[in-house]
A = this chain, B = another copy of it.
C-alpha cells in the first residue's frame, strides 16, 4: 500500500481521530499531518476508536512539500471549483487513477483545513483535484466524512478481488523531483532574463499548474531537466564579459 492521506492545518483533533478510523476501516495506513493545531490530543485518540495505531505512526510536517515529497501523484480534495484548469474528478473516477498510480509509486490525497479547504498555494502542488458530489444547497462536508468517502471508494477499487489496473509504464515524477524541476526552470528563466508578463508575479504558478496537470513521468522529467541543462550550457553570457557559467543549485541532480 502506498497511498497516504495528508491533512493540512486541521483545527479539530477529533477530525484527525475520526479520519484515522475511517482510513483503517478501508485498509489505509499512512496518515500525514501538516501543522495540526493540536496533536497528539486526547480527542483524536477518543475518536480514533481502535485505530490508535494510525495516530501513533502518523507523521507530522511543517510544510505540505515534505508530506508529498516522495509522491508521484498528488490529489487535492476540494469542495470548491476554482481550479477548473486542473482535471476535476469525482472520487470514484479518481480512485481508479490513484490505485493505478500507486502500483508504481506513492500517492497522496490532500485535505485542507476545515472551514476553507486547500489554499491556492496548496492546490498548486496537486496533479488532480477531486470533488465529492453533494447537494449544492449544502455542500460543506465534514473533513473526516470526506476522508471516509475517498477511503471507501479506494477500498472498492483496491480490495482483494477488485480488478487490478495495469501499472503505469513509467512511474510518475515525485514531489521532490517536481520541486527541483520548478527550481531549475526558475533558474533558467532568470539566466535567460525572461520577463514575467503575467502581472503580479504569477508566472511560476502558471508553469507549475501546467506541469502538475500534465502529470510528468520519470522519462519526461529526464528530458525536461536535460533541456534546461542544455539551455544553461549554451546560453550567451549576459553582457559582453565572458564569465564562467553559474553552477547548478546543489540540490539538483545531473540529468543527461
Report which A residues bind B (CB closer than 8 A): 18, 21-22, 24-27, 49-51, 92, 132-135, 138-142, 144-145, 148-149, 152, 155-156, 159
Contacts and interface: CB of A to CB of B under 8 A. Distances in A.
**Overall SS of chain A's interface:** helix
A138 B51 contact: yes
Contact of A135 (B27, B92, B140): B27
Nearest to A153: B152
Contact of A24 (B22, B135, B152): B135
Contacts of A159: 133, 135
Nearest to A159: B133
16 contacts: A21-B145, A24-B135, A25-B134, A26-B135, A27-B134, A27-B135, A49-B142, A50-B140, A51-B138, A92-B156, A133-B156, A133-B159, A134-B155, A135-B155, A149-B149, A149-B152
A47 to B, nearest CB: 8
Given A135-B159, A148-B148, A149-B152, 10 more contacts: A22-B142, A24-B135, A25-B138, A25-B141, A26-B134, A49-B140, A50-B140, A134-B155, A135-B155, A152-B152
A5 B179 CA distance: 47
Nearest to A145: B148
A256 to B, nearest CB: 44
Given A145-B22, A148-B148, A149-B148, A155 B133 contact: yes
Given A133-B155, A155-B133, A156-B133, A24 B149 contact: no
Nearest to A51: B138
A91 to B, nearest CB: 9
A135 B29 CA distance: 11
A152 B140 contact: no
Contacts of A141: 22, 25
Contacts of A139: 25
Given A149-B149, A149-B152, A152-B149, A21 B133 contact: no
A92 B155 CA distance: 13
